[in-house]
Amino acid sequence: MSHVAVLGIGMMGFPMARRLCEAGLQVSAWNRSRSKADRLAPFGAQVCDTPAEAVAQADAVITLLSDGQTVEDVLFRQGAAEALRTGTVVIDMSSIQPRQARDHAARLANAGVSHLDAPVSGGTLGAEEGTLVIMVGGKAAAFDRVRPVLDVLGRSSHVGPHGAGQLAKLANQMIVGITIGAVAEALLLCEKGGADMAKVKQAITGGFADSRILQVHGQRMIERDFAKRGAVAVQLKDMRNALATAQEIGFEAPITGLFEQLYAQAVDHGLADLDHSALFVELASRNGMA
């Protein structure tokens, strides 16, 4: 696993590919907007004009793309799958639907290529520091082969067969999205009633209500800092993927359904490109506190 191709050099893809370069791996990079991939050249990456060129000599291919349709397009319509060598492992670190991951795995297997769905949690900070949580679905043998690559990026766990990584990511995003709403609503209630939000956050730190969401996103709410790290639009996509998957398997998810509506309304009100903690703004507006 000395040569890794990275397809998708966005907010997550850039710091992750840079870490791979700095770890001494040979990296080839592609992005639809080449200028984003060009930023990796000073770190030693080979910047390619097409996905097929990027993956042609790779031992492992990491995809970090916006959604399942884009992953399918890049792999199967833009020539990447045809250019892969037999024995290559495709590690899809995008957040897509489990059924899409299973479909991609089956199609690649027919060409002698292994597939892992390996979405991540930890945001841009985790990508920069190499502390991502990586949830991996697929065959254990393929996971073992690429473990040294994943170790550069964070802590990886094999959670089951194809699609299981995406299920774990949906669970992660359900918890994140719902907890952001709980923290926002609770802090706004305190402010509306005359309490100091910052002091309330400090008071409940260390208790049962404490969480990383309270500490990180709660602080953003207090500071009104909604610069995009994980966008409202992406959180909405994840909630909709969770609901679509729940419907497929006959599972009722009413809490996720409620929050899908709240994030959708936040998007409708112009908050799509803000950090997902900006659900606070949507709830503040409802209470005349914007």
Residues with active-site annotation: 169
φ, ψ of residue 213 in degrees (nearest 5): -65, -45
Q: Tell me if residue 150 falls in helix, strand or coil.
A: helix
* H or E element in which residue 144 lies: helix 140-153
Cα gap 85→81, rounded to integer Å:
9
* Reduced 3-state DSSP string for 25-48: CEEEEECCCHHHHHCCHHHCCEEC
The candidate with the shortest Cα–Cα distance to 90, out of 68, 71, 66, is 71
φ, ψ of residue 155 in degrees (nearest 5): -105, 120
Block residue for tokens 């679905």: 137
Cα gap 238→162, rounded to integer Å:
18
